Every structure is written in structure tokens, then in C-alpha cells.
Structure 1
Amino acid sequence: MSRRSRTLIWGAVPVVLLTGLVSFESIPGTDISLTVPYAAEGPGPTFNTLGDVEGEEVVEISGAEIDEVAGNLNMTTVSVRSGMTLPQVIGRWLTTGDTLVPLEQVFPPNLSPEEVRESNEIAFSTSEAAATVAAMNYLGLPVQVEVAGVLEGVAAEGLVEPGDVILSVDGNEVSEPGQVRSAVLGKAPGESVALAIRRGEEEQTLDIELGEHPQDAAVGFLGITMSSASATGVEVEYNLEDIGGPSAGMMFSLAVVDKLSPGELNGGHFVAGTGTIDEDGGVGPIGGIVHKVAAAEDIGAEVFLAPSANCAEATSRGHGELIILKVDSLREAIDQMDAYANGGDYITCE
């Protein structure tokens, strides 16, 4: 056997041993981590906002006559895998269409896991509230601000209760959650906010000293999640758990409009999509859209609604026969679906 061949044989041994070693999350018998600081993003589950999940309607509406719906309005998600070893990362890179991103892009190093969870919870609740307001505004229905929940260990704990209706902040009447958020974010920790609420039939004003925002210590934090409800008694409840972030807003809003207005917004077709929504009905960009497009294609969607700011990324990979429509607002999303369903002119991202 030549010197060269002996070198190759012996040189292969450490590689095999190393591969076996880094398959563990830590070196056996030690606390030394072998995971790498990267996360893998890929297609996540999708949910039909017109349908049910675990026996409950995804978007449940009471206090109004509900119109019949058909087809799909699927919200899409991105799955995130972290805590991977080097071989696992390489495996996903070689065998899947996942995107590898620095771990801090998903889990900011200045936030604890609990703070990340709370931040995602707030973002999702904010998205739900904005979706309701946008839908009610589109339908011409008045809304009011309700407290959906109170986080633990925050300024509002023990003072504000779920179900309270917020009437004004510092004497200024409010009808949308965004107005409350703007008033609070304009204050520093330690400053007080006067919150006029209605609890049952009783009205009262609460003076609350603000804490620190978990993402910015210079900004005041009340620690409540809010929703919007029709002032005429229509109630909207969203029954999805363990989903974070604001990107389901547009699809939630479309489901509310579809259920409260005559006809089928999607023309009975299988529509999927993504996008944030603000209380005025504007649709904003989101992250990971290539994976959401892939998820929509995998489940057989005909049409995908994409924020116009995400168009280039949404069409950067093959998407088969899936038609990707460009939208900037709730009204435009509805008009685009109508054009597709009835043979009109629609605008694609291509």
C-alpha cells in the first residue's frame, strides 16, 4: 500500500468520528454545545380561515347573520427549525428548499425565550385586532376596543381585565387598538397613562404607571393585548393557537368580510395568501414568502395573494401553475379575487 493511500484511509477516520460526534447536541458527558447558530426556514402548515380547526371555526363570528362561504382562503406559515448540529444543517441545505438564516434573525440575542414568546403573542393579537377593524371599516360597521388579555408581571396586571372596553386614553376617545398603542408608545417607562374603561355597565378611569417595553427599555409598556369588536354587537374570535407574528392579518380580514357580506369573495376557488394588515386596510410585506408560496402550491391552491412589496421574492422560485396576485390593500385583494373568478383583468406578480 502506498503512502498516499494510507493517508486517505487514516485521514477518513477523524471525519467519520467527527460526523458521529456532532450528531449529538452536546459532547457526551459535557455541557459543551455542538449546535450551530443557524435556523432553517421552510414551508409550514396552512389553515383555511373559512374552515374549522380541532372542532372550532378558525374565524368565529356571533351577533350577526353569517353568509354561506365556499372554497378556501388559506393563511400560510413558515416553519422554523433551530438547535441543529452541523450535519443536520448540511442535510437540510442539500435535501430541502429550506433557507438558512442566522439564529439571531429569528431569536434576538437580547431577548429571553419568554420575551420572544410574549412579543410573538402581542404581534399575533395585534394582527387579529387590525384584521377585525379593517373588515369592519370595509363593511361600514362601527367598532370599539376591547381588552383581550393581560400579560403576567406588567403594569396593567390587577387593574385591567379581559373584556374591559377602552373608551379613552388621557382624555382622548379611542375606537381602534392602534390609537391606544400609539398613546402608550409615546410615553416613557414610569410615566402614567389615564385609561377610561367600561366594565359591564360601570365606567371608570384607571391611572397606570407604565413599565418597560420588552423590546425597547426607553418605551412605555402597558402589557395588554387588545381586540376590536363591533359596537353593534358583532363579535369576532380567532381560534388558532401556537401561531405567532402578524402575517395572517390580511387572510383573517378577508374571512371576516366573506362571512359578513353576500356572495363568495373567492368565487368558490382555492385561494391562499399572506400579508400584514393595518386598521385602514393596507396590506404590508412579510418574511419567508417563498416558503409560503411553496406551501400553497403543495396543498393545491389555484391563487396566491401576495403583498406587492414581496412580489420579486414570491416569484423567485418555480411555483407551477399557481397564480400569484399582487395586492396592496384589503379592497384590492377582494377586487383581484373577483376579477380572477369572473374572467376580469387581474394583476400578477410576474
Structure 2
Amino acid sequence: MSASSTPAPQAEGQRRTRRRTLALCALPVVLLLVVALFAPLPYSLAQPGETANVLGRRDGKPVIAVEGAQAQGRDKGRLMSVTIAATQPEATVRLPDVVRSWFREDRAVMPREAVYPGGGDTKDAEKRISEEMKDSQHKAVTAALRQLHRSPKDIHVKLRLGDVGGPSAGLFFALGIVDKLDGDGAGGGLTGGRTVAGTGTIDADGKVGAVGGVPLKTQAARRDGATFFLLPKSQCGEASAELPSGLRLVPVGSLQGALDALKGIRTHGKVPSC
């Protein structure tokens, strides 16, 4: 013999009340998730950018032009400055964009302030980047001429790198100037015919400083044929985390250190490594 029962009206009412309470409690969470999904975030998305051979030409003109001295280096290789490409300051970046970029090795999510210090719109950013490039070029020329014990009164150096801005090409501008003016000191070039890429700021005394986006820059360098990558010593760990196969990291702390490393590369001698 079986018996059946129905819920007491009071118990059923309590269950309905609990369900309504849970629904009301969940609603703000759902709304927060929707807002987070579609709200703009203070980030920029970046990817490997273009490379530029500072020993070559840009828009039909030499990237580095020297007046007042005869060029000595005859380099058959390439010294490649590398860049990253980032979304503009006004670009809207949302949570789905960030999530997709996290799962790609050729993309990076960076705080917008780290990419565009000082804030502002694209026009403001372009102005600052242009000013940083001019300052970087001046320091690169000064460092290179000091390295060679040459006077800026006698030698005029003009640098052209198109729309590429910022200070991170400083080291390679300085190396390119040394290569143009002196080469390896024996009629050859600094690279020994190899493709060497890299990045780093430089001050007037030849000290190399850190830059942003190094892992993406190593990808751009390997993509365009580089087998060696010069970078600031302090950024070895950052660059090693996602290093492309076939690219060797060469840490340097100064212009002299970079020149010593290039000598090791072209002569199969001692080359520093991360």
C-alpha cells in the first residue's frame, strides 16, 4: 500500500521566496558582468610592428646620412630597429578584446598609460612621440660621435625613419652612425654580413636604457630574418619568456658593450647571452 503527499502550502511558499531572493541577489551580479563585458577598459592592444634597417634607405633616402666625413664602413648586413604597433589612445578596448589577446603569443595587453604616457588623444600622443624621437636622435648622434672621438662641429648627421617614433631606436641609431663613419675599423661593417636586430634607448654618454614591448619586438625581428637581438641587460627575463626559435638574445648596457657584442658576432668570438 502506498501513500502520497503534497507539499504543505507554507513550505512551498518558503521555497518560492528563496528562489525570488536568489534571483534578486543574482541580478546585480549579472548586470555587473554585462557592464564589464561591454565597458571600455584603460588598455591598449599591441602586436609586432615594422622593422627598419638603419643602414638602408627609407622612401628612397638613406636612413642615416653623414656630411663632413667620408663613410668608412661597407656593411653588407643589416642593423634593424624594431617597433610595436598599438591601438590608438581613443580606441575602445573591451573585455572580449583583452581575453582574445591573452591567448595569442603575437598580441599583448598593455596599460594605456604605459604605451601613451601623459594621456591625451592621438594628436597629443603623436606630438610626444615625435619629440621623444628627436631627443633620442640627438642623444644617439652625441653618443656615437663621442664614441669615435669626433666633433659635432665637423660632422653633420641626418636621421630619417619615417613615421616611426619614440626613443627606443636610440641604440641602433648610434650603432648605425658608428657603422657608417668607422665600420669595424678595417674597411668592413659591424655586422659581418648578418642581420642583427634590437632595441634600447641611449643617452648622450652611451648608456642603454629599457624600453617597452620587448617580447613583441623579438617576434618582429625573427619574422624579418634576424638571428641576433640586442637588448638592455635588465630586460633579459622579459624577452626570454616568449623568445622565438632561432633568435639569440644579446644583453648590452652601453654603446661600447653593443660594439663589443657585434665584434664577437662577426668574428665568432665571445658574445654575451641572456
Q: Give the TM-score normalised by structure 1.
A: 0.62
> Among residues 70, 75, 82, which one is paired with 2:81 in the alignment?
75
Structure number with the higher strand fraction is: 1
User: Aligned residue for 1:44?
Assistant: 49
How far is the alpha carbon of 1:128 from its aligned partner?
0.2
User: Aligned residue for 2:248?
Assistant: 323
- Aligned pairs, how many? 232
Aligned-pair RMSD on alpha carbons? 2.2
- The 3-state SS of whatever aligns with 1:301 is coil
**Max Rg structure:** 2
CA distance in 1, matches of 2:105, 2:92: 15
Identical-pair percentage: 35
Is the aligned partner of 1:305 residue 2:230?
Answer: yes
- The 3-state SS of whatever aligns with 1:231 is coil
> Among residues 97, 104, 112, which one is paired with 1:103 in the alignment?
112
Amino acid at match of 2:60: G
User: Aligned residue for 1:254?
Assistant: 175
How far is the alpha carbon of 1:336 from its aligned partner?
0.7
User: Aligned residue for 2:263?
Assistant: 338
> Among residues 278, 288, 292, which one is paired with 2:203 in the alignment?
278
CA distance in 1, matches of 2:116, 2:208: 25
Name whichever of 63-72 and 302-311 sits farther off.
63-72
Alignment of 1:162-201 (within 5 A): none
Alignment of 1:120-135 (within 5 A): 120-135=129-144
Amino acid at match of 2:145: M
Name the CA shift for 1:95/1:311 in 2 (closer, same or farther; >3 Å): closer
Amino acid at match of 1:231: K
Is the aligned partner of 1:141 residue 2:150?
Answer: yes
- The 3-state SS of whatever aligns with 1:304 is strand
- The 3-state SS of whatever aligns with 1:334 is helix
CA distance in 1, matches of 2:138, 2:198: 19
Structure number with the higher helix fraction is: 2
CA distance in 2, matches of 1:65, 1:101: 44
User: Aligned residue for 1:231?
Assistant: 153
CA distance in 1, matches of 2:103, 2:209: 32
Amino acid at match of 2:53: N
Amino acid at match of 1:116: A
CA distance in 2, matches of 1:107, 1:317: 24
